[in-house]
Structure 1
Amino acid sequence: MAKYGIIRMQKFHKDAITGIQKHNQREGENSKNKDIDSTRTMFNYDFVNEDKIKYHEEIKKMTATRVKRKIRNDAVLVAEFFVSASPEYMHAMSPDEQRKYFEAALDHISGKYGQQNILYATVHNDESTPHMHVGFVPITEDRRLAAKDYFHGKTKIRRIQDDFHNYMNKRGYDIERGEPSELQHKSVHEFKKQEREKELKQLEQQVAHKEKEIQRMDSFVELKKAPPVEIRSEKRIEELCIQPIEIEAAKTVRGSKVKVEETDFHELLSFSKELQQTLAAEHERTNALSREIDRYQKENKALKHDLKETKQELQVYVAHQDGEVEKAKKRMREKLVHDFSAEQKENVKDEVKRELDKQYEAHISSLSDDLTIEKQKHEKTKKELVQANKMNDSLTKMNIDYIENYVPKEELDKANKEVDELRKENKTLKAWKEKALNWIDKHVEKIKQVSFFQHVGGIQKRNKRQDQEIER
């Protein structure tokens, strides 16, 4: 018989407190949880509380007077121990012995983590294996709510198993350690899942054994259905032995019947009695086999009925386990979301912000380089416009001087034509200058507002279009 003690620890945050309260105190969940036998719920009890309590209210009372700092929203409010033993060991104990076992376990937890911190110690006798849920609020001696001080690190987690095993051995319980220390700590749900898988394996083995018995019963049924062998009764054989033996023979002068010698008669009589005994023994054995076949038929019928019920239970159990697995996956996803502390969220936000700032600075630096190039082009354009204006003014002055002096009509017409062309050119240059200044002012302001997420691939195309406009 396997004899090992079981203790598991699981931490709960604010969002999970109401759920464990409903489970531990059986508040309207008997119809949903297939592991619970509602007819045995009356045998559950709590070592700490006589009546049902509100976990949140009791936690507030404990922390209001004993915790000096403000409690964080992501703080661990309750650390719960699941205490039990191997099913064979638990079922071998009487209810009083089980109660003493749980009392000893509670003494160990209270002594190690503080009696004043214990919130509840609920024993469940309405599930497949009796067990106890012990919840305590992790308040430290320096008045802090800090579960890490009790359970931070693999060493402290392993010590939960070691200390429990050593204490229960000292209290007289010959149990082995629940599992090797190198195995990963498992939650209460994972432990229950393993226990249900063991029970499922046992049920499958029972089904296989009953199927073999049914096959054996079927062979006996086939034997009984075989045509019966005709056997004379003892009375009829005795009558044959009492009657004189006559031997048929061919008719002679002395008649159709003859008498045998006395020695032959006695030999035939002895043979007849021996045959009678053999037939009687065979008859008794046949009757015994007939009775045994009837008994096996009844057993076969009962086994078929049991097998049918077992298969139905197995189907229900497998469907329930599949549902529990899906629920566990859903709770795990929710737990991952809830357990992501505010500090971790702030760290991620800071990291993302630093990365965005880094990219933004790189983008602004690139934009600054582009803006510098645009300014240089702008200055160059301004210088070219100034030189063009100077040249235009110089030509105008030269034309005036030339006109003031004597100029032939042909040359004057030619000069007037050149002046008109220069004026048009000057007007075009001024218009282009105004357009360039407006474009620069407009696009420089727009560049400042461009998000750095639009920078990749956009600057080169924009520069290309600007160069083309400048060339035009």
Structure 2
Amino acid sequence: MKAQYGILRFKKYKGPAISPIEAHNERTKEQYASNPDIDTSRSRYNLHLVQPQGKYREEADRMIAAHCRVRKDSVRVVEALVTASPEFFKDKNNREIRAYFAYALKFLEGRQCPDTFLSAVVHMDEKTPHLHLCFVPLTPDGRLSAKEIIGNRKNLVKWQDEFWQHMVKQYPELERGESASQTGREHIPPRIFKEMTQLTKQKEQLDALLVGINPFNGKSRAAEISKVLDSYIPNVARMRDQLRKYNVAFTKTAAENEKLKEKNKTLSASLDKAKEGSVLKRLEDAKLRQDYEAALKTLDSIPPEVIRFYEDRSTQEPAMRHDK
């Protein structure tokens, strides 16, 4: 399952740049030679979640004049771009896409007064659907300060954290769309837990097939076990890579962990370390590691003759396909 990211970005605009961004967002030009991704035949599917009441620059100046005086070089408009990985929108219809952006807009309305919004338009005529929300960066006490609203690098990380926390309630498959260097991988996406649940179900299926297996009936069950292993082994390997990606500590193989004899001690140690950070995160990490190691233990319990059958079958099948 490919990762799907929820994305939120910001841009700041001073006076001269406001009209060009309006022309782009509102599709007021007949052609867009500078952006070949725009398919004007699909522009009729674009939709407004917030309808502009006038020209961006004029509306921005009107709002600002009602509250404060500013320098000529002040940031007058901030644009929030909301989208997601292309994979997220695959197979979604227009109603579902609109619902995604409407839910994202609720988050932005909770962080910035909707009265300052100039326009919120969803573009459906480019490769990936996305929302442009333009607003005047007025603070609650009436000052014009994009710096205070958007903030520095640390505050942008907070924006990303809270955006992801909002979106994942409705769309649990989404991951946080920032780099590991910024996030420290604090959030393990729900997708990983779902994949572990599926892996655990496969483990239980294997465990059932392995009950009572012995040298006399091993061959008869080998074919059925091999079918499960076709997906189980790649899934275990993928889970290993995912846990490494999210900095979940675990042993590489059951053999290196002395057949998991120290599993309980390791788990207890991770619970002690919970005091150092997020208790919930540490507990989730420990559970993921425990489930993963249980999956490895099942692999270790497969008799050698079944493994040989699986390996022989795996090497024979490509040759057979090639012969055909």
Matched with 1:166 is 165
Matched with 1:13 is 14
Matched with 2:132 is 133
Matched with 2:39 is 37
Q: Secondary structure at the match of 2:101?
A: helix
1:179 positional shift? 2.0
Q: Quote the Cα distance in structure 2 between the aligned partners of 1:88 and 1:146.
A: 36
Q: Quote the Cα distance in structure 2 between the aligned partners of 1:130 and 1:29.
A: 20
Alignment of 1:356-371 (within 5 A): none
Structure 1 residues without counterparts, runs of 5 or longer: 185-472
The structure number with the bigger radius of gyration is: 1
Q: Quote the Cα distance in structure 1 between the aligned partners of 2:180 and 2:141.
A: 31
Question: Do the aligned partners of residues 94 and 4 (structure 1) sit closer, same or farther apart at CA in structure 2, a change above 3 Å counting?
Answer: same
Q: Quote the Cα distance in structure 1 between the aligned partners of 2:61 and 2:180.
A: 35
How many residues were matched structurally? 181
Q: Secondary structure at the match of 1:79?
A: strand
Alignment of 1:446-461 (within 5 A): none
Q: Quote the Cα distance in structure 1 between the aligned partners of 2:53 and 2:42.
A: 17
Deviations 1:392-412 (A, max 9, x none): xxxxxxxxxxxxxxxxxxxxx
Q: Quote the Cα distance in structure 1 between the aligned partners of 2:64 and 2:70.
A: 9
Please tell me whether the aligned partners of residues 77 and 137 of structure 2 are also in contact (alpha carbons under 8 angstroms): yes
Q: Quote the Cα distance in structure 2 between the aligned partners of 1:30 and 1:91.
A: 27
Matched with 2:272 is none
Query: Which fold has the larger relative contact order, with Cα–Cα distance below 8 Å and residues 6 or more apart in sequence?
Result: 2
Q: Secondary structure at the match of 1:82?
A: strand
Matched with 2:23 is 22
Q: Quote the Cα distance in structure 1 between the aligned partners of 2:177 and 2:41.
A: 30
Q: Quote the Cα distance in structure 2 between the aligned partners of 1:39 and 1:135.
A: 24
Q: Secondary structure at the match of 1:75?
A: coil
Q: Percent identity?
A: 39
Deviations 1:320-354 (A, max 9, x none): xxxxxxxxxxxxxxxxxxxxxxxxxxxxxxxxxxx
Please tell me whether the aligned partners of residues 12 and 77 of structure 1 are also in contact (alpha carbons under 8 angstroms): yes
Q: Quote the Cα distance in structure 1 between the aligned partners of 2:56 and 2:181.
A: 34
Alignment of 1:70-219 (within 5 A): 70-180=69-179, 182=181
Please tell me whether the aligned partners of residues 117 and 138 of structure 1 are also in contact (alpha carbons under 8 angstroms): yes
Q: Quote the Cα distance in structure 2 between the aligned partners of 1:182 and 1:21.
A: 34
Question: Do the aligned partners of residues 172 and 156 (structure 1) sit closer, same or farther apart at CA in structure 2, a change above 3 Å counting?
Answer: same
Please tell me whether the aligned partners of residues 22 and 29 of structure 1 are also in contact (alpha carbons under 8 angstroms): no
Q: Secondary structure at the match of 2:175?
A: coil
Alignment RMSD (CA, Å)? 1.8
Deviations 1:359-386 (A, max 9, x none): xxxxxxxxxxxxxxxxxxxxxxxxxxxx
Q: Secondary structure at the match of 1:176?
A: strand
Q: Quote the Cα distance in structure 1 between the aligned partners of 2:110 and 2:131.
A: 17
1:150 positional shift? 1.2
Matched with 1:274 is none
Q: Quote the Cα distance in structure 2 between the aligned partners of 1:41 and 1:52.
A: 20
1:181 positional shift? 5.5
The residue identity in structure 1 corresponding to 2:111 is: K
Matched with 1:55 is 56
The residue identity in structure 2 corresponding to 1:7 is: L
1:127 positional shift? 0.3
Question: Do the aligned partners of residues 173 and 95 (structure 1) sit closer, same or farther apart at CA in structure 2, a change above 3 Å counting?
Answer: farther
Alignment of 1:428-439 (within 5 A): none
The residue identity in structure 2 corresponding to 1:129 is: T
Q: Quote the Cα distance in structure 1 between the aligned partners of 2:70 and 2:111.
A: 23
